[in-house]
Structure 1
Amino acid sequence: MSGSTEGSSSASGDADAADAGGTDTADTMRERAGENRVKLWLLLRADRLVVAAVLTLAVFVAFVAVAVAISPSLATKVGSSDPVETLFASMITAIVTGATLVVTIGQLVLTQENGPLGDQRDRMDDTLAVRDDIADLTGGPTPTDPAAFLDAILGAAAGRARDLRDSVAGQGDDGDESDRDALRAEVDDLATGLTGNADAVRGQLDGAEFGSFDVVFAALNFDYGPKIGQIERIATEHDDALTDDERGLLDELKATVSLFGPAREHVKTLYFQWALIDLSRLILYAAVPALVVAGLMVTVVDAGTFPGSTLGVAHVTLAVGGAFAVALLPFSLFVSYLLRVLTLAKRTLAIGPLVLRDSE
C-alpha cells in the first residue's frame, strides 16, 4: 500500500473500467491488495445498512440453530428456569451503555468543528491558501464540489504528463542520443500509466456525490505514491539528458501529483466525520426499538407466551432469537460502519511515495 495507497474496485466492474481507460490494473486497490472482489465489496462498497441487516439475520439464524441443536432445548430451559430474563436484562444494560458511548463519539467528532474565532479564521486561511495553490497549477478556479475538486487535480496532472512526453519526444541538448532514448522510454512509461490511471479515476468521479462513499472510493484508485517516486527517479537518473524546460515540466508534474495526496486525505477526513455522525444517529435510532424489545422480553415472555412449534422449532425459540437479533442491531450497525472505516484507514496509512505493500 502506498500513499495513494490502494485504490479500490467495486463488484460491478470498476477494475474493468480502469482497464478500459488504459491504466494498469495494479493501480486499483483490488489488484494491489491481492484480495478477492467479494471481500472488498463487502468491506468497502456494500451499503452499510445492508451489511448490518445481513449480520442481524446471521445472528438470528445462528442463535436458532444452536438453540435447537443443544440439549436440553431453549424451550425446555425456559419452562424450568428464567434464562430469558437474565439474557435480556444484560442486553438492556449493554444497549444503554453503547448508546452513551455513541454520544461521546459524536461529541469528539463535533469538537473538531468548534473553536474560537481566531482558530476558525486560521482554518479558513489555510484552506484558501491551498485552493490558491491548486488554482495556480490547474490554471482555473478551484471547484467547490469534492468530486470536481479531485477531478481538477487529476486533469492537470494528466495534462502535464502529456506535455512532458511531447517535450521529451523532441531533440534535447547536445549529448549521448542513447541517454535521450532511455529518457523517452521512462517518460513515456510514466505518462502512459499516469494519464491512463487519471482518466479512469476521473470517469469514476463523474457524477459521484459526497457522503455516499463514491468520491472517496474513486479517489482510492489513483495510485499517486509510486508515480511521485518515478518522477523523482527520472529527475535524478536522467538529469544530464534533460533540458531546462523539461526539468521545469517535471517539477510542475511532481507538484501537481503531490497535491492529490493532501486533497484526498482532506476529502477522506471529511468522509470519516460524515460517516461517524451518520453512525451515531443510526445507533441512537436503533437503540429505541432494541430497548423496547429487550424490555418486553424481560417483563412479558415466559414458557407459555409462545406455545407450539413450526417445522420442529419451538415458537419461543424463534421469538427469543428474533428479539436477541433486534437487541443486537445497534452493535451490527457499529460493526458494519467500522469495517469500512478501518479498511479505508489501513489502505491510506501513508501519505507520499511510501509503499506499504509488496512492490517491484
Structure 2
Amino acid sequence: MTERTSGTASEEANEGEKAEGGEDTDDGDTADTMRVRAGDSRVKLWLLLRANRLVVAGVLTLVVFVAFVTVAAAFSPSLAEKIGSGDPIDTLFSTMIAAIVTGTTLVVTIGQVVLTQENGPLGDQQERMNDTLTVRDSIAELTGSPVPTDPAAFLDAILVAASERSRALRESVRERDGDRSDRIAIREDVDDLAANIIENADGVRDSLDGAEFGSFDVVFAAIDFDYSPKIGQIERVDDDHDDAFTDDERALLKELKESLSLFGPAREHIKTLYFQWTLIDLSRQILYAAVPALVVAGLMLAVVDAGTFPGSTRGVDHVTLVVGAAFAVTLLPFLLFVSYVLRVLTLAKRTLAIGPLVLRDSK
C-alpha cells in the first residue's frame, strides 16, 4: 500500500482542532465516520455490521433457547404435561420441517439469481470488462501509476490522490502574500477543505491497511470516507473564490473533485462484489445448517415423547430443555438468514446515494 505523504506542523495543528470521532462543526460539514454520522451506539453498530455473522446467529440461537425454556417453565400446565396429554411436539416439529425445506429452497434460489448475474453472452462480458478498464484508466491517469488489483489498495490509491491534491492546493494558496480579507477567506476555506479530506482519508487508509476482501473490513473502512459532502464543499469553495484561483490551483481543485468522484463508483463496485460474495456465503451456510436442523426435527418426531426425558433440574423439566434446544437448532437456518440480512440491509441504507447527496441531517 502506498506510503502516506507527511503533513506539515500546521496541518497537524489544524487537524487536531477537529472534534473527536472526526465530527466537523462548521456549517455544511458533516461527521466523517459512519458511527458519528448515524448517531448509533458502538454496541448497535457492532451488532449490525462488525460482529461475525456466525457469532450473531449463535447468540440469537441461545436467546431463542433461553426465552423458550423460560416461558415454557413459567406457565401452567407445564410443557411435560401438555406432551403427555397431546401431540405438541408432532405439531411443532412437523411444521418446522416444512419451514426449513421451504426457506432453504428460497434462499438457494436467491443465491442462484446472484450467480445468474455472472453469466451472459460474450458481448456482455466484453462490455463489463471494457467498463472496468475505462475506470481503471481514469484512476491510473489521476494517480500517475498502475492501479492495484487488491480491493483495499485500489481504494487506497484514490485516497492517496485526494490527499496529495489537497496538500498541493493548500500549499499553493498559503504561499500568497498579503492580509486582504479575500485572501484570508480563501486560505481559511481551502485549509478547512484540505484538513477535512486529509484527516478522513488518513483514518480510512489506516483501516484499509492489511484488510482483505471477503471479510467485512474493506467495505466497513470504505464507508467511513464521507466523500459526498466533501464534493459539495469543493463546489462551494470553487463558486465563492473562482476569480481568486490561479490556473494551476483551478486544475488542482478539478483533480481533487475528480478523485473524490472516482471514489464513489469504486466504493459501490467493491460493495456490490461484497454483496454477491455474502449472498453466496449465506446460501452455503444455510445449506450446511439445514441438514442438522432437519435431522433434529425428525428425531423429535420419531423419538421424543412425554417419557423420553423424565425428571427435572432446578424445577425445569428435562423434556422442556430438550424441546427448547431442538426448537432453537431447527431455527438456526432462519437465524443465519437474519444475521446476514441485518448487515446487508444496514450497509445498503448507509450507502444509498452516490454523488454529492447527503440523505441525513447535516451536522
Q: Counterpart in 2 of 1:344?
A: 347
State the 1:58 CA deviation.
Answer: 0.3
Alpha-carbon contact 1:78-1:303 (below 8 Å) kept: yes
Alpha-carbon contact 1:216-1:268 (below 8 Å) kept: yes
Q: Given the alignment, which residue of 136, 140, 156 partners 1:135?
A: 140
**Residue correspondence of structure 1 range 227-266 to structure 2 within 5 A:** 227-266=230-269
State the 1:23 CA deviation.
Answer: 4.5
Q: Counterpart in 2 of 1:332?
A: 335
Name the aligned partner's letter for residue 211 of structure 1. Answer: G
Name the aligned partner's letter for residue 54 of structure 2. Answer: L
Alpha-carbon contact 2:57-2:332 (below 8 Å) kept: yes
The 2-side partners of 1:183 and 1:198 are apart by 22
Same amino acid, percent of matched pairs: 76
Distance 1:220 1:246, change over 3 A: same
The 1-side partners of 2:332 and 2:267 are apart by 32
Q: Counterpart in 1 of 2:118?
A: 113
Q: Secondary structure at the match of 2:213?
A: coil
Output the TM-score relative to the length of structure 1.
Answer: 0.92
Alpha-carbon contact 2:21-2:32 (below 8 Å) kept: no
Q: Secondary structure at the match of 2:243?
A: coil
Distance 1:88 1:305, change over 3 A: same
Structure 1 stretches lacking a partner, 5+ long = 1-18
Q: Counterpart in 1 of 2:302?
A: 299
Q: Counterpart in 2 of 1:13?
A: none
State the 1:21 CA deviation.
Answer: 10
Distance 1:23 1:158, change over 3 A: farther
1:79 matched to 2:84? The reply is yes
The 1-side partners of 2:163 and 2:278 are apart by 31
Alpha-carbon contact 1:29-1:220 (below 8 Å) kept: yes
Q: Given the alignment, which residue of 58, 63, 81 partners 1:53?
A: 58
State the 1:252 CA deviation.
Answer: 0.6
Alpha-carbon contact 1:21-1:199 (below 8 Å) kept: no
Q: Given the alignment, which residue of 162, 165, 185 partners 1:160?
A: 165
State the 1:170 CA deviation.
Answer: 2.2
**Residue correspondence of structure 1 range 35-50 to structure 2 within 5 A:** 35-50=40-55
The 1-side partners of 2:346 and 2:299 are apart by 37
Q: Secondary structure at the match of 1:168?
A: helix
Distance 1:343 1:56, change over 3 A: same
Alpha-carbon contact 1:48-1:336 (below 8 Å) kept: yes
Alpha-carbon contact 1:21-1:197 (below 8 Å) kept: no
The 2-side partners of 1:23 and 1:316 are apart by 54
Alignment deviations for residues 73-115 of structure 1 (CA, whole Å, 9 cap, x no partner): 1010000001000000000000000110011111110011000
Distance 1:95 1:287, change over 3 A: same
Q: Counterpart in 2 of 1:191?
A: 194
Name the aligned partner's letter for residue 239 of structure 1. Answer: D
Alpha-carbon contact 1:23-1:200 (below 8 Å) kept: no
The 2-side partners of 1:52 and 1:134 are apart by 40
Larger RCO, structure (CA 8 Å, separation 6 or more)? 1
Output the TM-score relative to the length of structure 2.
Answer: 0.91
Number of corresponding residues: 340
The 2-side partners of 1:179 and 1:35 are apart by 40
1:275 matched to 2:278? The reply is yes
Name the aligned partner's letter for residue 259 of structure 1. Answer: L
Q: Counterpart in 2 of 1:125?
A: 130
State the 1:331 CA deviation.
Answer: 0.5
Structure 2 stretches lacking a partner, 5+ long = 1-17, 25-30
Q: Counterpart in 1 of 2:109?
A: 104
Alpha-carbon contact 2:21-2:33 (below 8 Å) kept: no
Alpha-carbon contact 1:211-1:271 (below 8 Å) kept: yes
Runs of 4+, deviation exceeding 6 Å = 19-22
Alpha-carbon contact 1:24-1:193 (below 8 Å) kept: no
The 1-side partners of 2:142 and 2:63 are apart by 51
Q: Given the alignment, which residue of 334, 342, 353 partners 2:356?
A: 353
Q: Given the alignment, which residue of 315, 319, 343 partners 1:316?
A: 319
The 2-side partners of 1:137 and 1:317 are apart by 65
Name the aligned partner's letter for residue 150 of structure 2. Answer: D
Name the aligned partner's letter for residue 71 of structure 2. Answer: V
Q: Given the alignment, which residue of 48, 65, 80 partners 2:70?
A: 65
The 2-side partners of 1:20 and 1:285 are apart by 46
Q: Counterpart in 1 of 2:185?
A: 182
